[in-house]
Amino acid sequence: MNPSKISVFAPGLIGGSVALASSHFFPKATLAVWTRRSESLPPLRAALPKAEVGTEPGLARSSDLVVLAAPPAVLPELVRSILPYLSPSTLVTDVSSVKESVEKSVAPLLQGRARWIGSHPMAGSENSGLGAARTGLFQNAPVILTPTASTASTTTRDASSFWQALGARILTMSPESHDEQVARISHLPHLISSALVLAAGKKSLPLAGPGYRDTTRIAAGPSELWSEILLENRREILAALKDFRSSMDALASALDQKDPQSLQKILDEAAGIRRNLSPSS
Amino acid sequence: MNPSKISVFAPGLIGGSVALASSHFFPKATLAVWTRRSESLPPLRAALPKAEVGTEPGLARSSDLVVLAAPPAVLPELVRSILPYLSPSTLVTDVSSVKESVEKSVAPLLQGRARWIGSHPMAGSENSGLGAARTGLFQNAPVILTPTASTASTTTRDASSFWQALGARILTMSPESHDEQVARISHLPHLISSALVLAAGKKSLPLAGPGYRDTTRIAAGPSELWSEILLENRREILAALKDFRSSMDALASALDQKDPQSLQKILDEAAGIRRNLSPSS
């Protein structure tokens, strides 16, 4: 995909990084960035001096690609506002970390009006907002595309090519499979990380070593955003939590019964799985 | 403390790093390094060309400081083997991550024979062994000293001064308080991290982003060592696990009841605590 105009709507951490990376990797394309709040315009102009920035949905006009980075709950309203400025060849995607509900709320609105596919860049941070955005956020990050039966293969191909240009590696799966797997690899860790912080409390913080730092880093993330993400994917997260509980119970019972063989066996199984993950890709 | 001879017993990740850092920060001191297995002598000589290395406990002779880096279960035997080579002024410490049981097993053996104080450098890694050791491991790392009613203040002072020379920041507390707090800040996170890996399984690994990577990094650690640590501190870990469960249950119930207010409130509380931790110290 070689877009001549890219629009980014709602530039926080992810959207802002998409805008920065687009401006870096597609230097010849026109970049338009929309924000809901006029107070955000001065920092946007400072971060992206060559972009058209504004609060009017008409910024989407003539775009080859529109990236919607707003929270899932406001996506339908945002999509309706830009409909007049889309053409059937415009590629529209999002960056939400839940996909089945977004697919249901957004795809029907865009049918016949634009080419739609869901995207989920797995490149968060405990920081949020435009100030935390950076050009390299997607380097080696997994980006999951969620085509459905009605997605044209050229749409998937063009979305892949865009994210790959930003440095990402692409995975493709159905919205349902996405939500199930992401519940386990991203949402459950967030929930658990928060519970760990609460169990340790404030008193022991001066003792924190790298183990505590790493396991709880994401718990410092924006609670409003995370509350929304977790609720959107609650069914899958509760299923994942069931499996988590049974592993935790097995560990607790080995401890309770002073059973080094069982304890080491469970720890070993986890270590074996975790070591499949390369350190830096 | 300005030791003219430092001995390190059982150089894995922590002991090896103590040896490397001692050789760097006390270049004039004699360094002796003991290992149980003669196969470990060639890599030890390669890593520490200026140190005396060997498998004889007599290496401890004339040391001002002896650092015992063996697992808690073998410390009493190790201490007995070096007793003939200690003097009442020798400072002996360990690096175990449990302190009450070590205090009970080691302090009586050394009473009147050497100056003893427990140390716990909070500077682990998912890697283990001498190969992972590095000079800078203790830079800005918390090292907890656990003096008791019978510890002379000069002993605490000398142990502090040694670890500070290696770059650490010192915290002092009783062995009991250490075990209680470390259960929450280090041992519970390890247990939970392993359960998270098992709940996510192998299938979703290609989707792993930084959240999963960080929350589960320590689960790749050596299971034998961790099994021993967790069992040594089982009582405190099971108590911490109880608090963890009640936070997790509160989060699960907010999810189950689709209650954004409660969910966000709990996430917010955790984020508020976690943000007290400075990013890099």
State whether A144 and B243 contact (CB < 8 Å).
Answer: no
Question: Cβ contacts (< 8 Å) between B260 and chain A: which residues?
Answer: 227-228, 231
Q: What is the mean pLDDT of chain A?
A: 95
Kindly compute the dihedral angle of the four CA atoms of residues A230, A231, A235, A237, in this order, to the nearest 10 degrees: 10
From B146's Cα to the closest Cα of chain A, the distance in A is 13
Q: What is the mean pLDDT of chain B?
A: 95
User: What is the percent of chain A where pLDDT is above 90?
Assistant: 89
State whether A214 and B218 contact (CB < 8 Å).
Answer: yes
- Flag whether A279 is in a domain: no
Whether residue A108 contacts residue A133, with contact meaning beta carbons closer than 8 Å, is answered with: no
Output B128 or B251, whichever has higher pLDDT.
B251
Instruction: Provide mean pLDDT across the span A26-34.
Output: 98
Cα distances (Å, whole numbers) of residue A243 to A10, A24, A184: 36, 43, 10
Q: Is residue B13 located within the same domain as residue B49?
A: yes
Question: Cβ contacts (< 8 Å) between A206 and chain B: which residues?
Answer: 142, 171
State whether A226 and B255 contact (CB < 8 Å).
Answer: no
Considering only the beta carbons, identify the residue of B199, B215, B224 that sits closest to A240.
Answer: B199
Q: Which helix (H) or strand (E) holds A237?
A: helix A234-256
Considering only the beta carbons, identify the residue of B186, B205, B208 that sits closest to A209.
Answer: B186
State whether A184 and B205 contact (CB < 8 Å).
Answer: no
Given a cut of 60, whether residue A266 has pLDDT beyond it is yes
Question: Cβ contacts (< 8 Å) between A222 and chain B: which residues?
Answer: 271
Question: Cβ contacts (< 8 Å) between A184 and chain B: which residues?
Answer: 199-201, 204
The predicted pLDDT at position A223 comes to: 94
- Flag whether A143 is in a domain: yes
Position A281 confidence tier, pLDDT thresholds 50, 70, 90:
very low
Q: Using CA coordinates, name the residue in chain B closest to A172.
A: B207
User: What is the percent of chain A where pLDDT is above 70?
Assistant: 98
Query: Which tens digits make up the pLDDT trace of A184-194?
Result: 999 999 999 99
- Maximum mean pLDDT: which of A267-281, B2-16, B222-236: B2-16
CA distance B274 to B61: 46
Given a cut of 70, whether residue A225 has pLDDT beyond it is yes
Q: Is residue B203 located within the same domain as residue B240?
A: yes
Q: Using CA coordinates, name the residue in chain B closest to A140.
A: B209
From A258's Cα to the closest Cα of chain B, the distance in A is 6
B110 CA to centre of own chain = 21
Q: Is residue A15 located within the same domain as residue A146?
A: yes
Q: Is residue B129 located within the same domain as residue B188?
A: no
- Interface A-B, measured as beta-carbon pairs within 8 A, has a size of 282
Given a cut of 70, whether residue A35 has pLDDT beyond it is yes
Cα distances (Å, whole numbers) of residue A163 to A13, A134, A181: 16, 15, 20
Give the CATH number of the domain where residue B23 resides.
3.40.50.720
Q: Is residue A151 located within the same domain as residue A254?
A: no
pTM over 0.95: no
Give me the residues paired with residue B30 across strands.
B5
Of A38, A4, A44, A39, which is closest to residue A22 (Cα–Cα)?
A4
State whether A244 and B216 contact (CB < 8 Å).
Answer: no
- Flag whether B280 is in a domain: no
State whether B251 and A181 contact (CB < 8 Å).
Answer: no
State whether A200 and B193 contact (CB < 8 Å).
Answer: no
What is the residue range of B205's domain? 178-274
Q: Count of domains in chain B?
A: 2
Residue A239 neighbours by CB under 8 Å, 6+ apart: A180, A183
Residue B212 neighbours by CB under 8 Å, 6+ apart: A185, A186, A189, B196, B200
Look up the ipTM and state it. Answer: 0.79
Q: Is residue A74 located within the same domain as residue A143?
A: yes
What one-character-per-residue DSSP string does B139-177 give? TT-EEEEE--TT--HHHHHHHHHHHHHTT-EEEE--HHH
Instruction: Report helix, strand or coil for A122.
Output: coil
State whether B271 and A220 contact (CB < 8 Å).
Answer: yes
Give the CATH number of the domain where residue B260 resides.
1.10.3660.10
Give me the residues paired with residue B145 across strands.
B119, B172
CB atoms within 10 A of CB A88: 9
Please state the φ and ψ torsions of residue A143, each to the nearest 5 degrees: -120, 125
Given a cut of 70, whether residue B281 has pLDDT beyond it is no
The predicted pLDDT at position A125 comes to: 65
Q: Is residue B165 located within the same domain as residue B208?
A: no
Domain boundary, last residue among A150, A173, A196: A173
Query: What residue ranges in B151-276 does DSSP mark as E strands?
Result: 169-172
Q: Is residue A161 located within the same domain as residue A186?
A: no
Look up tokens 């509980």; give the residue: A245
Q: Which of A190, A192, A228, A236 to mutate to test the interface with B (most CBs of B within 10 A)?
A: A192
Domain boundary, last residue among B144, B173, B202: B173
Q: Is residue A122 located within the same domain as residue A35?
A: yes
- Flag whether A88 is in a domain: yes
Considering only the beta carbons, identify the residue of A144, A240, A255 that sits closest to B234.
Answer: A255
Question: Cβ contacts (< 8 Å) between B258 and chain A: which residues?
Answer: 231, 234
Instruction: Provide mean pLDDT across the span B165-192.
Output: 96
State whether B181 and A203 contact (CB < 8 Å).
Answer: yes
Cα distances (Å, whole numbers) of residue A201 to A213, B60, B271: 13, 41, 11
What one-character-per-residue DSSP string does A180-230 give? HHHIIIIIHHHHHHHHHHHHHTTTTGGG--HHHHHHHGGGGS-HHHHHHHH
- Flag whether A247 is in a domain: yes
CA distance A6 to A62: 9
Question: Cβ contacts (< 8 Å) between A262 and chain B: which residues?
Answer: none
CA distance A73 to A84: 21
- Flag whether B160 is in a domain: yes
State whether B266 and A190 contact (CB < 8 Å).
Answer: no
Considering only the beta carbons, identify the residue of B205, B260, B266 that sits closest to A276.
Answer: B205
Domain boundary, last residue among A136, A158, A173: A173
Q: Is residue A210 located within the same domain as residue A162?
A: no
Query: Which tens digits make up the pLDDT trace of A81-124?
Result: 999 999 999 999 999 989 999 999 999 999 999 999 999 998 87
Whether residue B198 contacts residue A270, with contact meaning beta carbons closer than 8 Å, is answered with: yes
State whether B263 and A231 contact (CB < 8 Å).
Answer: yes
Q: Is residue B169 located within the same domain as residue B182?
A: no
State whether B264 and A223 contact (CB < 8 Å).
Answer: yes
From A71's Cα to the closest Cα of chain B, the distance in A is 15
Residue type, A257: Q
Question: Cβ contacts (< 8 Å) between B276 and chain A: which residues?
Answer: 202, 205
Given a cut of 70, whether residue A126 has pLDDT beyond it is no
Given a cut of 50, whether residue A227 has pLDDT beyond it is yes
Q: Is residue B194 located within the same domain as residue B236?
A: yes
- Flag whether A261 is in a domain: yes
Given a cut of 50, whether residue A230 has pLDDT beyond it is yes
Q: Using CA coordinates, name the residue in chain B closest to A122.
A: B209
Instruction: Report helix, strand or coil for B244.
Output: helix
State whether B271 and A247 contact (CB < 8 Å).
Answer: no
Residues in chain A: 281
Question: Cβ contacts (< 8 Å) between B264 and chain A: which residues?
Answer: 223-224, 227
- Flag whether B279 is in a domain: no
